[in-house]
Structure 1
Amino acid sequence: MYERRFLALPLTRRAALGAGLAGAAAVLLAGCAPTPRYISPTAAAVGSAETARNSTGRVVTTSLRAQATTLDLAGTQVPTWSFGSIPAPIIRANVGDTIEATLINGLPEETTIHWHGLALRNDMDGVPGITQNPVAASDEFTYRFIAPDAGTYWFHPHVGTQLDRGLYGALIIDDPNEPLAYDEEWVVVFDDWLDGVTATPPEVLEDLRGGMAPMPGMEGHVMRMGNMLMGTNSDLLGGDSGDVFYPHYLINGRPPADPETYTARPGTRVRLRMINAGSDTAFRVALGGHRMTITHSDGFPVEPVEVDGVLLAMGERYDVLVTLGDGVFPLVAEAEGKGERAFALVRTGTGGAPDSTVVLPELRRNIGVGAALRAVESVALPRKTPDREIAVKLTGSMEKFNWAFDGVPFDPAQVERSTRGIRSGERVRLLFENTTTMWHPIHLHGHTYQLLDGGPRKDTSIVLPGETLAVDFDANNPGQWLFHCHNIYHAEGGMDGLISYEA
């Protein structure tokens, strides 16, 4: 996916030999090469932007081996792919540290790693054919970049439907001067799961490409049709909430029949770092018997808001604070509109564990969503009139499975058709108008934008049917950056675009 011609990209080990043989020819042709229209990921401006970042000089090294494995689903072993465990071991660093992560590809096909949410250097963003050559089977590639901002982030492939397997993990960037007071933290990753059970992700995509005819009157009556779901409905998402059937919903790789248990003492103040690694499912999350205080969205601090639960779109992250009571409590992540759930336990005392089907009144009370939050003053963008405004229409339908921006599905062979140009130093306003009848979680690479009127700083936001999301960002990270729907099947269907800095 995203193969692009005539672009100089960071080389894998095997590609280096071929590049050396082609070097002489490249020198002969350089004199007649046209001036590039956009700053490439290998341009000097990308390296200069990295050099300008505050650096501690400390290097955090890690290796991630992508490989075939099995996942234990409450005693049933299913084949899948992972980075050794599901989720992968957490990667931690401090702001300003250099992360040096070597991807070793033990898969039967090419892959990459995208560092979701980080405003990192462009050539380390992990988008094949745009920012790097894909890493071939049995090859390896080392990502090296400075971690610019504290927060909760994550990593996953950006090749085909690989995200809908087990290839993901949390990336936590700590602030040594963290102002938030808490005793412990718990990283919680939600996922929808089908790989090795009902189908493989490529098989699901092939089914979806055939389209799904609407069935009037089915709303709220969920029915499985092979790998697809009919009748999903959510008031928070404005209608159809998802179209893929998943037999399992997981918290930290475990199903409700074998739940993860977090153990602490009563009165412990816990920071929950929540990540939605799902591919077609939003999760409505609550902890039974507790309220939670939202402190961060997509890594950046917000004005604290006390809620009963939160809604996480695919790709979104929320940090919340909870002061634990005495007992055994259910953490429930409802698969929004699908009638199923993920489930875990929090134990601070004795007593029996609640059943995974327990009814939580918190799930029907005050649910926090990103659009209602406000950025704290320290991270709010300075007030400024936009220098450039880019309007993007979200188009398509499940009936034809023709997802796109502005009616133009992303075509790797014609990238220019999907590219919007900007200039370094500009304040850019993006207007995402959803003309479809389904919600979309839109993710922008390489930048954090701010919702208008003091809204939160984010990189992934829900765009409801019939509504327009307006966000601003500062063009201070040169290169070529993907933006796309983080429903992996919509992205593979063509809902992708590029924002490229003009040379």
Structure 2
Amino acid sequence: YYNFNQPTVVDFFRDVSRDGFKAAFDKRKMWNEMRMNPSDLADISAYAYTYLVNGTPPAANWTGLFRPGERVRLRLINSGAMTFFDVRIPGLKMTVVQADGQDVEPVTVDELRIGVAETYDVIVTPTDDAYTIFAQSMDRTGFARGTLATRHGLVAAVPEPDKPEWLTMADMMGDMGGMAMDHSKHAMPAGTAMDGKLAKPSTQARHAKTEYGPSTDMRVDMARTNLDDPGIGLRNNGRRVLTYADLHTIGGSIDPRGAEREIELHLTGNMERYAWSLDGLEFGKSTPVHFRYGERLRVILHNDTMMTHPMHLHGMWSELESPDGQFLARKHTLNVQPAQRVSFLVSADALGRWAWHCHLLLHMDAGMFREVVVA
């Protein structure tokens, strides 16, 4: 709602002056033909929401007290419904020591993006009297703000939100260096890796027949698999930003077994119709995903949409792996960026029926939800 960053005639003439009329016209024509908007970064903005820190709006200035020189552990929890936050404390480094409640090898950053339901524990060592905890929304329409201070009443400078950035073609189409082609005619059965081996996650898109319908407006054939991209709005911003490639859970995997089989689930949608689904099927039209009790399997989440989705599997850990199949981090919620392909291993050790969904409330409600049956 209230996306005031949409392309306008002013932007068109600005492109004309910079790139020439033909290039500007072709660019606008391309986006219009795809029925997509490069500024669609969030479903609901600060024009509808007030962003809070521990229930406190920015003007009320939630304050956490510290003694100068002491090490302070902050637990960052995104308990919002529809908002990604980019969190930083100007003038203060943050050392990430936990992700989703699991100890990770410490990594020091200036900023991190936290999706709905994710948690990060960071350690800071403040020396000045006051610092601003600044959490701007991904679409840059607003922010949550609090203060770390030596006493109540102190404040520090509050930065202006960064300028919003438009999505790029890589965010739309994935690996632009690859050869984009439609693999639907020779899609491989779910659970079969391309070369018959499961040491590494497969990279070839396997689009379900159900993706070809009115509830799906795009399909990405050559999704990017790199995990070192902080995401739109955080690239090359002059700050050290956390990425999933930085996360390494201490102690390694909870299960030494490799994958016995591989399943692939596509995150799908149609922004104009505001339809959200998995493999082109809303929850009410879907059937459960079956895990065999005790098995070790690889799950691939392939994002065919232009939005980032925080995917949450109930009851079992998602053990994130690198593109070459190396264990990285144990999490319960994984952000999957536009045109990205993410893989993780699951030990199906919890009998029963479990929810698996996008944690953006309206996406989940619209149908980006599946039931998992472990039996």
Do these two structures clear the TM 0.5 threshold for a shared fold by scoring above it? Answer: yes
Structure 1 residue 397 displacement after superposition: 2.0
Identify the residue that residue 241 of structure 1 maps to in structure 2: 41
Structure 1 residue 382 displacement after superposition: 3.7
Identify the residue that residue 461 of structure 1 maps to in structure 2: 334
Identify the residue that residue 229 of structure 1 maps to in structure 2: none
Structure 1 residue 494 displacement after superposition: 0.3
Identify the residue that residue 323 of structure 1 maps to in structure 2: 125
Identify the residue that residue 275 of structure 1 maps to in structure 2: 77
1:239–1:437 Cα contact (<8 Å) kept: no
Identify the residue that residue 186 of structure 2 maps to in structure 1: none
1:325–1:348 Cα contact (<8 Å) kept: no
Identify the residue that residue 298 of structure 1 maps to in structure 2: 100
Q: 1-side partners of 2:59 and 2:9: how far apart?
A: 29
Deviations 1:8-28 (A, max 9, x none): xxxxxxxxxxxxxxxxxxxxx
Equivalent residue in structure 2 for 1:419, among 271, 288, 312? 288
Change in 2 beyond 3 A, CA 1:390/1:357: same
Deviations 1:302-334 (A, max 9, x none): 111010111100111001111121211111011
Q: 1-side partners of 2:336 and 2:39: how far apart?
A: 12
Identify the residue that residue 31 of structure 1 maps to in structure 2: none
Change in 2 beyond 3 A, CA 1:367/1:354: same
Q: 1-side partners of 2:264 and 2:147: how far apart?
A: 44
Structure 1 residue 371 displacement after superposition: 4.3
Equivalent residue in structure 2 for 1:395, among 261, 265, 268? 268
Check if 1:500 corresponds to 2:373: yes
Q: Tell me which amino acid in the other structure corresponds to 2:253.
A: A
The 5 Å alignment of 1:76-225 reads 216=7
Structure 1 residue 497 displacement after superposition: 0.6
Identify the residue that residue 115 of structure 2 maps to in structure 1: 313
Partner SS state of residue 318, structure 1 = strand
The 5 Å alignment of 1:323-342 reads 323-342=125-144
Identify the residue that residue 359 of structure 2 maps to in structure 1: 486
Partner SS state of residue 40, structure 2 = coil
Change in 2 beyond 3 A, CA 1:278/1:327: same
Check if 1:367 corresponds to 2:263: no
Change in 2 beyond 3 A, CA 1:357/1:318: same
Q: 1-side partners of 2:8 and 2:254: how far apart?
A: 45
Q: Tell me which amino acid in the other structure corresponds to 1:319.
A: D
Q: Tell me which amino acid in the other structure corresponds to 2:334.
A: S
Deviations 1:60-79 (A, max 9, x none): xxxxxxxxxxxxxxxxxxxx
Q: Tell me which amino acid in the other structure corresponds to 1:258.
A: A
TM-score normalised by the chain length of structure 2: 0.66
1:299–1:317 Cα contact (<8 Å) kept: yes
Q: 2-side partners of 1:480 and 1:407: how far apart?
A: 22
1:327–1:351 Cα contact (<8 Å) kept: no
Structure 1 residue 364 displacement after superposition: 4.8
1:297–1:319 Cα contact (<8 Å) kept: yes
1:308–1:366 Cα contact (<8 Å) kept: yes
Change in 2 beyond 3 A, CA 1:339/1:293: same
Q: 1-side partners of 2:119 and 2:305: how far apart?
A: 25
Identify the residue that residue 344 of structure 1 maps to in structure 2: 146
Structure 1 residue 349 displacement after superposition: 6.2
Q: 1-side partners of 2:291 and 2:152: how far apart?
A: 59
Q: Tell me which amino acid in the other structure corresponds to 2:150.
A: T
Q: 2-side partners of 1:243 and 1:277: how far apart?
A: 16
Identify the residue that residue 446 of structure 1 maps to in structure 2: 315
1:241–1:281 Cα contact (<8 Å) kept: no
Q: When the two structures are aligned, how many residues end up with a matched partner? A: 270
Deviations 1:383-405 (A, max 9, x none): 42212211101111221111000
Change in 2 beyond 3 A, CA 1:239/1:467: farther
Partner SS state of residue 418, structure 1 = coil
Change in 2 beyond 3 A, CA 1:251/1:460: same
Sequence identity percentage: 34
Q: 2-side partners of 1:488 and 1:261: how far apart?
A: 29
In structure 1, the gaps of 5 or more residues are 1-203, 221-237
Question: Per residue, is there more strand in 1 or in 2?
Answer: 1
Structure 1 residue 455 displacement after superposition: 1.2
2:107–2:246 Cα contact (<8 Å) kept: no
Q: Tell me which amino acid in the other structure corresponds to 2:105.
A: E
1:297–1:370 Cα contact (<8 Å) kept: no
Partner SS state of residue 315, structure 2 = coil
Q: 2-side partners of 1:357 and 1:310: how far apart?
A: 16
Structure 1 residue 483 displacement after superposition: 0.6
TM-score normalised by the chain length of structure 1: 0.50
Equivalent residue in structure 2 for 1:384, among 257, 276, 282? 257
Q: 2-side partners of 1:368 and 1:334: how far apart?
A: 15
Deviations 1:166-198 (A, max 9, x none): xxxxxxxxxxxxxxxxxxxxxxxxxxxxxxxxx
Structure 1 residue 488 displacement after superposition: 0.3
Partner SS state of residue 327, structure 2 = coil
Q: Tell me which amino acid in the other structure corresponds to 1:443.
A: H
In structure 2, the gaps of 5 or more residues are 12-37, 163-233
Q: What RMSD over aligned residues (CA atoms) do the two structures have, in Å?
A: 2.9
Q: Tell me which amino acid in the other structure corresponds to 2:96.
A: I
